[in-house]
Amino acid sequence: MNNNYLARAKKMIPDPQILSVVSAKRAKQLAFGARPMIKCDSENYLDVALLEIAEGLLTFEIGIDDVVVEAAAAATEDTQATE
């Protein structure tokens, strides 16, 4: 991972947890064949994702519905595990 790309991406998404999730999801998309939105010297998917974030080409959205769905799914798994 290129520390310069990471420092630049942190300026766009200062929360480390959100930055981690966004960059990992984008790196996974790239690994499965998505086209990069930027030219990058590195072949590392995480570097490409961080550079896309740093250039402002990648954004994120946090929705209340997503949190509720994740909490409901976790509660369902807990219930099934105890039965």
Query: Residues 11-27: pLDDT tens digits?
Result: 999 999 989 989 999 99
Both tokens of residue 71? 């909490």
The predicted model scores a pTM of 0.73
Could you tell me the domains of the chain? 3-82 (3.90.940.10)
For 37-54, the pLDDT digits (tens) are 988 888 899 999 999 999
Give start and end residues of each alpha helix (H) in 1-83: 3-12, 16-31, 45-54, 64-82
